[in-house]
A and B are shown apart, each in its own frame.
Chain A
């Protein structure tokens, strides 16, 4: 397993501003992901954070809105840019320590609860 921390745990922001969320893992991991979970909804994958290269975004998410960095195997950041109230959500990072077909579960950070006014 992996121990994951996220900062900040919550924030209230004004529209038009940006917020950077940090994700720190206690060990080197193969894969890191960023998810969004809107109130009462399921998890939606935003992107895969790739170490040393540009993140891979899912349909509906773009780099200009959600720039991601991953400078090493234990750390990643997600920025929510030019925020609007529709960006109010919980943002979760997760990691996968293995990519075997029978052993590729993900471990989630505690999440960042973002409210945009």
Chain B
């Protein structure tokens, strides 16, 4: 079945360092979504990418969708302690609005 692979599983950074998580699929995706889950919280939608090669920015966060629409990345510049949490990519599969989630990347930031 369809899978969305996400790496790395964990990332520990010093505050101020950059962070990147990657998401890959073996099949072409219609879109890709990114969610953030704070410790003890629930996933919160961050952004959706639809177009080939699309790049979107939210303050220090930069999201990219590959030209072949099979991969995506989330890059955080100059991490802060508020960035702590697990970042998930998610892609639609089959029909009916269902999503398949990547394994997630847990980010910890040392002040």
Contact = CB atoms under 8 A, between A and B. Distances in A.
A22 interface: no
Nearest to A101: B30
B99 A56 contact: no
Contact of A101 (B31, B98, B100, B104): B31
Interface stretch (B14-22, B41-49, B55-63, B70-78): B41-49
Interface residues of A, number: 26
Contacts, number: 56
A43 B43 contact: yes
A105 B96 contact: no
Secondary structure dominating the interface of B = loop
Given A43-B43, A43-B88, A110-B42, A104 B97 contact: yes
Nearest to B51: A102
B98 A109 contact: no
Nearest to A98: B97
Interface in B67-111: 88, 90, 92, 96-104
Given A99-B97, A108-B42, A42 B31 contact: no
Nearest to A50: B96
B64 interface: no
A49 B86 CA distance: 26
Q: Which of B42, B50, B99 has the most CB of A within 10 A?
A: B42
Given A41-B103, A101-B50, A106-B97, 17 more contacts: A30-B97, A31-B96, A33-B98, A42-B88, A42-B101, A48-B97, A92-B43, A96-B97, A101-B31, A105-B33, A105-B48, A106-B33, A108-B42, A108-B43, A110-B41, A110-B42, A111-B42
Interface of B: 1, 30-31, 33, 41-45, 48, 50, 88, 90, 92, 96-104
Interface of A: 30-31, 33, 41-45, 48, 56, 59, 92, 94, 96, 99, 101-111
